[in-house]
């Protein structure tokens, strides 16, 4: 029998506990489901000094070894993430010890992945240059600004770029781990693992990680925040910049500038995202026809529905329904 697949998860003080334990549990359950006679996974947690680390929730994680003790062949190396929440911003934690270690450890690892803000550590180590990557939507813009050589896509729940894997916020690490199980042992074991954990195997990497309202949260309730709620309830209305500006009794120029300042996107892009999300939900949760979905979501025609799906999601409505329903 082949030796077990060796997984090392790097952790440091302040990490999200599910960034570590979520993927670890997927690999552990996959090993138990596979049973004897098939190679499973051996999971080890590594920290800087081999000491326990306190997670963001206060739960302490025991380490199996120090970073320096991670030697020999590693099949999968995962780096967890952490953020600090300030009054006006969420900032990824950049642990210099982990970053330096990644530069040395990654080249001798078969597969490297990050969970949530761990992508910032991979990028800081230069491991994502020239590749597509994702991270939690709250810090995606910061990742793109700090590392212009990384093609940051804030939408998917995970992205695979060769041997480098990145995923979105927290629980998406479990989806990514399931995809890794499927790559290592085939879809049947991944499906059996998902069933054992009462998870949705259908959440493949292309599925969006957030809903439109979550994507552009505002600090306080104001006219723009109220308008976004109104937009979601009136998708079939005239939602042009001119109509929205009139609703707020502002000039189009001032409204567009204010909307972008509050949401980091344009009114037109936000409206299309809101309509696209409504269409996605109808495709996933109903048997309604494409013309009906196009009309109900405010996209108007099947042609507009197709254009939005291809431009934003890189797929067709029919293919999206087949994959995610």
Tens of pLDDT, residue by residue over 255-305, are 999 998 887 789 998 999 889 989 988 998 889 999 999 999 999 999 999
Q: By C-alpha distance, which of 174, 168, 192 is closest to 83?
A: 168
pLDDT, residue 210, reads 45
pLDDT, residue 72, reads 87
With a cut of 60, say whether residue 252 has pLDDT above it.
Answer: yes
- Inter-residue contact 212 to 263 (CB < 8 Å): no
Q: Where are the alpha helices (DSSP H) in the chain?
A: 17-34, 96-105, 118-124, 140-146, 172-185, 187-196, 212-215, 223-233, 241-247, 252-263, 267-285, 290-297, 302-313, 317-324
The residue whose two tokens read 């707020």 is 248
With a cut of 60, say whether residue 197 has pLDDT above it.
Answer: yes
Residues in the chain: 325
With a cut of 70, say whether residue 217 has pLDDT above it.
Answer: no
With a cut of 80, say whether residue 88 has pLDDT above it.
Answer: no
Please compute Rg for the chain using Cα positions.
22
Q: How confident is the model at residue 157 (pLDDT cuts 50, 70, 90)?
A: confident
Burial of 288 (0-12, 13-18, 19+ CB in 10 A): middle
Least confident of 63-67, 184-188, 206-210, 236-240: 206-210
Q: Could you tell me how far CA 218 lies from the centroid of its own chain?
A: 20
3-state secondary structure (DSSP) of residue 64: coil
pLDDT, residue 62, reads 95
Burial of 4 (0-12, 13-18, 19+ CB in 10 A): middle
pLDDT tens track for 112-154: 999 999 999 999 999 999 999 999 988 988 999 999 999 998 8
pLDDT, residue 207, reads 54
Q: How confident is the model at residue 170 (pLDDT cuts 50, 70, 90)?
A: confident
pLDDT, residue 174, reads 94
Where in the chain do CATH 1.10.10.60 domains reside?
212-324
pLDDT, residue 200, reads 60
Q: Phi and psi for 20 in degrees, rounded to 5?
A: -95, -55
All residues at 6 or more sequence positions from 72 whose CB lies less than 8 Å from its CB, including other chains? none
CATH code, residues 212-324: 1.10.10.60
Inter-axis angle of helices 317-324 and 290-297, nearest 10: 100
Say which DSSP state 157 is in. S
Residue 196 and residue 65: Cα distance in Å, rounded?
29
CATH code, residues 5-196: 3.40.50.880
pLDDT tens track for 46-72: 999 999 999 999 999 999 999 999 998
Residue 63 and residue 43: Cα distance in Å, rounded?
11
Burial of 247 (0-12, 13-18, 19+ CB in 10 A): middle
Q: How confident is the model at residue 209 (pLDDT cuts 50, 70, 90)?
A: low
All residues at 6 or more sequence positions from 103 whose CB lies less than 8 Å from its CB, including other chains? 125, 126, 127
pLDDT, residue 325, reads 64
Where in the chain do CATH 3.40.50.880 domains reside?
5-196
3-state secondary structure (DSSP) of residue 80: coil
With a cut of 70, say whether residue 220 has pLDDT above it.
Answer: no
Mean pLDDT of the chain: 89
């Amino acid at each position: 029998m082949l030796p077990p697949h060796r997984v090392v998860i790097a952790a440091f003080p302040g990490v999200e506990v599910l960034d570590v334990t979520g993927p670890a549990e997927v690999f552990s359950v996959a090993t138990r489901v596979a049973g004897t006679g098939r190679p499973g996974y051996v999971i080890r947690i590594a920290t800087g000094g081999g000491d326990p680390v306190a997670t963001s929730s206060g739960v302490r994680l025991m380490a199996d070894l120090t970073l320096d003790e991670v030697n020999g062949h590693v099949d999968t190396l995962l780096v967890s993430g952490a953020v600090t929440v300030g009054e006006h911003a969420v900032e990824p934690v950049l642990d210099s010890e982990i970053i330096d270690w990644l530069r040395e450890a990654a080249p001798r690892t078969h597969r490297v992945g990050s969970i949530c803000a761990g992508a910032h550590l991979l990028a800081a180590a230069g491991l994502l240059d020239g590749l597509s990557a994702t991270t939690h939507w709250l810090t995606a813009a910061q990742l793109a600004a700090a590392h212009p050589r990384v093609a940051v896509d804030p939408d998917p729940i995970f992205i695979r770029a060769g041997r480098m894997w990145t995923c979105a916020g927290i629980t998406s690490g479990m989806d990514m781990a399931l995809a890794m199980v499927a790559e290592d042992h085939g879809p049947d074991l991944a499906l059996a693992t998902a069933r054992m954990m009462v998870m949705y195997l259908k959440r493949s990497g292309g599925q969006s990680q957030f809903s439109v309202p979550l994507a552009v949260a505002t600090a306080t309730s104001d006219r723009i925040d109220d308008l976004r709620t109104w937009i979601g309830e009136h998708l079939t209305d005239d939602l042009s910049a001119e109509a929205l500006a009139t609703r707020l009794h502002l000039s189009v120029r001032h409204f567009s500038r204010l909307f972008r300042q509050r949401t980091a996107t344009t009114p037109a892009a936000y409206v299309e995202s809101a309509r696209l999300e409504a269409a996605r939900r109808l495709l996933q949760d109903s048997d309604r026809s494409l013309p009906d979905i196009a009309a109900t979501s405010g996209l108007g025609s099947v042609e507009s529905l197709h254009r939005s799906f291809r431009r934003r999601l890189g797929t067709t409505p029919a293919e999206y329904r087949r994959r995610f329903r």
